[in-house]
Structures are given as C-alpha cells and as structure tokens.
Amino acid sequence: MRNTEHLGVPTRSVTGVLLAAGAGTRLGLGPKALLPYQGRPLVEAVANTLLDGGCREVVVVLGAGAPQVTATAGLEGYRVVINPEWQSGLGSSFLLGNQSADPADHLLIALVDQPGLTAATVQRLLARHGPGRITAAAYRRLLPEGALPDIRGREDIAGPEDNRGQAGQLRRGHPLLIDASLREAVCATVTGDAGARGFLRSHPELVDEVDCSDQSTGEDVDTPDQLGLLQ
C-alpha cells in the first residue's frame, strides 16, 4: 500500500454509492439516514456532498425505515434503491449499489454516517485516482496519550489493518474509490458485513491512500458520544 501524490483525472465517470440502510441501533434514534445535520437529514447532506465533489450520479441505498426516509429527505435528484436484505449486513447494500450503478463507471463508496465528509475530499480522491487502482481517503487523528482511536464501523468497508494504530498514524477510511476494472473482482469477495475488506487485505499493492486529514477526522456517528459530530 502506498500514499499517492500523482494528480490525475479519472478517464471514466464516477458513480457515488451512498450506503444508508442501517438502523442505527446503538444510537437508538431511528435510521442514521434521518439524523439532523445542517438543517436537513444526514442522507440528503452527504448525497449532495458526493454530487458537489464530482460524482456524475449518486445511488442512495436505503433499508431500515426506507418509507420514512424517502418521505422526509429530499432525494429526488438521486437514484434511490431499497435493500430488502439490509439486516443481512452492509455487504448486501454494497452489492446492490454496485448493481445499480452504470457498469462503465468507477465506484465511489461512501457511508451515510460520516458527516465530516466534504466535497473537497471527494474531489481529491477523483483527482488522484490512477487506472486500475483503489483510492481511499485516509486520516490522522491526534489523540490524548494512551488513548486508542475509536474506529468502530470502519472495518465494514475499508478494513483497517490494525485496530490499535498509534495516535497521528495515517489510517484508511472512507470514501473508497474503486476503479471500474476492479468492480467485479471486489464484489466477488463481498459477503455478510465485510464489504471490500477481504479484497483490500488480499491486494494492498492496488490501494492508494490519500491524506484527507485537513478536511475531517474521518469519524462516523455510531454511538451517542459521537453525536457531537453532527454539530
């Protein structure tokens, strides 16, 4: 795995896939997609960020509380698909999003519970993506001495190699830009709640990490003590 500094331009269009099917059980506030963020539902805000960042189209994968989400959030400008098997794990939403995207496009996988995602982060990943590569946002977190990073939920898609990374260490997160030529191979490894983790661990030589620490910490909203990320 290497950090990339080349500045390229994707030769194909990019479809953003926003995984927003989770029930947010640990939060106990209903579907994460409907968490309030900057005056609107979180799913709407993150989908707009992907579009502003350069994605040609955004596929929003819903599951838990889908009727309520579609009735509440302004998702008219996006392709919305419902995953009836969302309880089987995040992998099924990943595969449905891939199936719903233009087969010729690169795929940008994003999580709905990452409110710190910026359009600049998306633009940076698209600009630095190389042919036949997987380009992943990575982040550095400055933690108190002796503390460990809380990366619960990060393994589902990108899969950090070591959950006990040191403070300040660059760690892979999301979004994750998958080259069109690799989509089939990646999806062949997706099962249960694992997402692309298996493929990334088997092929680290194909992964470029792009430091996006200047944009956010890359954290997700997974537990009540992380609700401050929505402010």
- pLDDT classification of 28: cutoffs 50, 70, 90: low
Q: Which helix (H) or strand (E) segment is 44 a member of?
A: helix 42-52
- The confidence score (pLDDT) of residue 162 equals 38
Backbone Cα Rg of the chain: 16
Percentage of residues of the chain with pLDDT beyond 70: 80
Which of 26-35, 139-148, 172-181 comes out lowest in average pLDDT? 139-148
Q: Above 90 in pLDDT, residue 62?
A: yes
> Which residue segments constitute the domains of the chain, with CATH numbers given?
11-141+153-216 (3.90.550.10)
Q: Above 90 in pLDDT, residue 7?
A: no
- pLDDT classification of 86: cutoffs 50, 70, 90: very high
Q: Above 80 in pLDDT, residue 42?
A: yes
42-52 helix and 119-128 helix, angle to the nearest 10 degrees: 40
CB neighbour burial string for 171-184, b if at least 16 within 10 angstroms, e if fewer: bbbbbbbbbbebbe
**Other Cβ atoms closer than 10 A to 185:** 14
**pLDDT tens digits, one per residue of 157-215:** 454 433 334 456 889 999 999 999 999 999 999 988 878 989 999 999 999 999 999 99
159 φ/ψ angles, rounded to the nearest 5 degrees: 70, 85
Q: Above 60 in pLDDT, residue 4?
A: no
The arithmetic mean of pLDDT across residues 53-81, rounded, is 96
Q: How far is CA 127 from CA 8, 139, 211, in A?
A: 5, 17, 13
Structure-token pair, residue 1: 């795995």
| Mean pLDDT estimate for the chain | 84
The arithmetic mean of pLDDT across residues 130-143, rounded, is 88
The single-letter code of the amino acid at 97 is G
Percentage of residues of the chain with pLDDT beyond 90: 64
42 φ/ψ angles, rounded to the nearest 5 degrees: -60, -40
Structure-token pair, residue 147: 């503390």
Q: Residues 138, 172: contact at Cβ < 8 Å?
A: yes
Between these two residues, 29 and 209, which has the higher pLDDT value? 209
- The confidence score (pLDDT) of residue 194 equals 77
- pLDDT classification of 153: cutoffs 50, 70, 90: very low
- The confidence score (pLDDT) of residue 226 equals 75
> CA 161 to CA 130: how far, in whole Å?
22
Q: Above 70 in pLDDT, residue 3?
A: no
Q: Residues 221, 113: contact at Cβ < 8 Å?
A: yes
- The confidence score (pLDDT) of residue 158 equals 53
- The confidence score (pLDDT) of residue 156 equals 40
